[in-house]
A and B are shown apart, each in its own frame.
Chain A
Amino acid sequence: MGIQSNVEVQTEWGIVSARQAGRNLAKEAGFSSVDQARIATAISELARNIYLYANNGEIIIEFLENENVSPPRRGIKITARDEGPGIDNIRNAMEDGYTTSGGLGAGLPGVKRLMDEFDIDSRSGVGTEITAIKWLR
């Protein structure tokens, strides 16, 4: 709660520091080694998208705590925000194997499967904001 990490993604090094920050926070929150890897990988994919398509943006990683439900839920939320060109066709971007960069096309659909909750908000010419949450089991 209140603890969060903001990482600017402008260079490839931003990708590395974002996923390291994510792994550290996931470890602290008590996630298993498999979930740590899932979170770090999801961050890496999101950060790479910023680097590849928007040049400039940020990754915010924060602890979540929902005490209104019983038992209380804790987790980690990743927000990837950029002011890039936006995603023209979200349906395509969420399809396995679809790529405009020559990659594997596993990025966004992969992130959705790695995390528990996934939300994407993108406007052409304005930017993209993707949020993804992983709950502690």
Chain B
Amino acid sequence: MQPSIIQMIHNQRHYIIDNWLEEINTVQTETVGNNVPKEMDDETNRKFIEMIIDTLEYEQREAKGKLRGFVERLIYSGWPLSYFTRGMQSFRSVLLETMSSGEGVNSKRIFETFYEIETWVDGIVNQIADEYSGSWENTIQLQRHALNELSAPLIPVFEKISVMPLVGTIDTERAKLIMENVLEGIIEHRSHVVLIDITGVPVVDTMVAHHIIQAAEAIRLVGAECILVGIRPEIAQTIVNLGIDLGKLQTKSTLQQGIEAGLQMTQRKIVKCNTESASSVVIGG
């Protein structure tokens, strides 16, 4: 930027800052809301505007670093992007107003000044927007990761019998991960019967049903059998109403029934012990 413009900004520094603080106060309530105490607002506003003007002193790289640090802190404490964009808009109008009301400026000069200021402000706005979108992408990545961790591993409940509890919405990405977990788990635990429990799945549409059928087929290929359990009445209704064909897939309404069926398939059953403590159960083969 031309030294003369920088000089002009510095000369008018107090005037610019005061005007801006007034402007930002009017938009503040719309953007930030009442989450932040007034004193903190004012303090942040002042720090922000002083930092913006101070960046004129630094080299570009250093200026970017300062801005990034400041913006990151505000992102972290939950300030909305609109605070910055509205703030920079006001800043630009205050600047331009100040510049054009200066003494003895010809039109060519004004045009150049406008252009330089536009470029400067745009650069800052772009950087702020980049910081925000970067932080949003990070958040999305973290949440996706957290969701994938929800895909529980296969849980062995008896010898040869394991349970895969499904919780939450099943999309294609998760379905793939779940399938891998189930199959690896079958090999690891030598499971003969796998119970897929959909008690925690809110909606079973054709897509989810498709993923479950595919998982059941894959389970059969590696040499185990699959029973779908946890079918609530409303799930049974949607499955039939949608005309979903679960094929040869065995189904049970509860996990308990599923386990009983699994024991039967592996030629075992739970019998009551008559001797000594009557409440204990053993698995007889």
Contacts and interface: CB of A to CB of B under 8 A. Distances in A.
Let me know if chains A and B touch directly in the complex, using CB atoms closer than 8 Å.
Answer: yes
Contact of B180 (A34, A70, A71): A34
In terms of DSSP, what is the predominant structure of the interface of chain B?
helix
B173 to A, nearest CB: 8
A40 to B, nearest CB: 17
Contacts of A32: 180
Contacts of B30: none
Interface size on A, as a range, is: under 10
A78 B94 CA distance: 56
Contacts of B134: 70
B43 interface: no
A80 to B, nearest CB: 25
Interface in B149-189: 180
B136 to A, nearest CB: 11
Interface string A89-103: 000000000000000
Nearest to B130: A70
B103 interface: no
Contacts of B180: 32, 34
Contacts of B57: none
Nearest to B138: A71
A128 to B, nearest CB: 29
A115 to B, nearest CB: 13
B137 interface: yes
A32 B179 CA distance: 14
Interface string B115-155: 00000000000000000001001000100000000000000
Interface in A74-123: none
A34 B141 CA distance: 22
Contacts of B141: 71
B181 to A, nearest CB: 11
Contacts of A70: 134, 137
A70 B134 CA distance: 8
A71 B180 CA distance: 25
A71 B137 CA distance: 9
B280 to A, nearest CB: 42
Interface string A40-55: 0000000000000000
Contacts of A34: 180
Interface in B186-217: none
A38 B141 CA distance: 25
A74 to B, nearest CB: 16
A19 to B, nearest CB: 20
Contacts of A71: 137, 141
B146 to A, nearest CB: 16
B186 to A, nearest CB: 14
Interface in A10-50: 32, 34
A34 B175 CA distance: 14
A72 B174 CA distance: 22
A32 B180 CA distance: 10
A73 to B, nearest CB: 13
B110 to A, nearest CB: 38
6 contacts: A32-B180, A34-B180, A70-B134, A70-B137, A71-B137, A71-B141
Shortest 6 CB-CB contacts between residues of A and residues of B: A34-B180, A70-B137, A70-B134, A71-B137, A71-B141, A32-B180
